[in-house]
Amino acid sequence: MALLHPVLSLPDLLGLMLHFMVLSLLAVGGAITTAPDMQRYVVMQNHWITDAQFSASIAIAQAAPGPNVLFVAVIGWNVAGPWGALATLVGSLLPSSLLTLWVMRWSESHAQTRAMRAFKDGMAPLTLGLLAATGWVLIEPLVREPAQRAGALVLLGITLLLMTRSKISPMWLVALGAVLGAFGMV
């Protein structure tokens, strides 16, 4: 019987979970903002999955109903089956959930301090930068293709412009990307 997923050793599974735990604490703006480092770790550094498998993992999870963070489970599944999915989900959810609970309790008593207001104001540019990096990772394969390069870069530019200058829902931008992709424009 052929294995559907590579068998990772226990140290590799723990390393995968630990890496996703660290990323969980850096995921300002959601888990998707750390996708570039996830891709570096599972594709480029460890060669557990291919670039195409990584992109497909995100696409499949984003198309499915449910929380945005589910893409980490699909990545983990592609890396090491059910144990990989468990490692990436626990790694992504546990630290950030515990930190969120602690910060929410602490911030209630410090909501009007100058430091808290400055912290909240500083998160917006950080989140936008992380989202731009994620957008680049996702369109980078298209940028390599001359026929799709201009469309991909224009779509990324429009997305960044609209996200910084309007209150348009990101779902409309996803729909725009889908329509342009269906017509072969990106």
One domain for residues 30 and 47? yes
pLDDT confidence tier of residue 29, bands split at 50, 70 and 90: confident
- CA proximity to 26, closest of 36, 15, 16: 36
CA dist., res. 153 & res. 135, Å (int): 10
pLDDT confidence tier of residue 176, bands split at 50, 70 and 90: confident
End of a domain among 53, 84, 109?
109
Query: For 41-91, what is each residue's pLDDT tens digit?
Result: 999 999 999 998 999 899 888 888 878 888 999 999 999 999 999 999 999
End of a domain among 64, 84, 109?
109
pLDDT given at position 126? 79
pLDDT given at position 98? 94
End of a domain among 48, 74, 109?
109
**Would you state the structure tokens that stand for residue 167, as one six-digit string?**
């209150």
Residue 2 has pLDDT above 70, yes or no: no
One domain for residues 14 and 98? yes
> What is the domain count for the chain?
2
One domain for residues 42 and 83? yes
pLDDT confidence tier of residue 92, bands split at 50, 70 and 90: very high
The answer to whether position 98 is within a domain reads yes
One domain for residues 68 and 153? no
**Would you state the structure tokens that stand for residue 128, as one six-digit string?**
């936008």
One domain for residues 11 and 89? yes
CA dist., res. 23 & res. 25, Å (int): 5
One domain for residues 20 and 105? yes
The answer to whether position 104 is within a domain reads yes
Residue 184 has pLDDT above 80, yes or no: no
One domain for residues 64 and 130? no
CA dist., res. 115 & res. 99, Å (int): 18
One domain for residues 36 and 90? yes
Range of the domain at 130: 116-186
Query: For 110-163, what is each residue's pLDDT tens digit?
Result: 878 888 888 878 877 877 787 778 778 878 888 888 888 888 888 888 888 888
The answer to whether position 141 is within a domain reads yes
CA triplet 164, 152, 148: central angle to 5 degrees?
Answer: 170
One domain for residues 15 and 103? yes
One domain for residues 35 and 124? no
pLDDT confidence tier of residue 4, bands split at 50, 70 and 90: low
The answer to whether position 2 is within a domain reads no
pLDDT given at position 46? 96
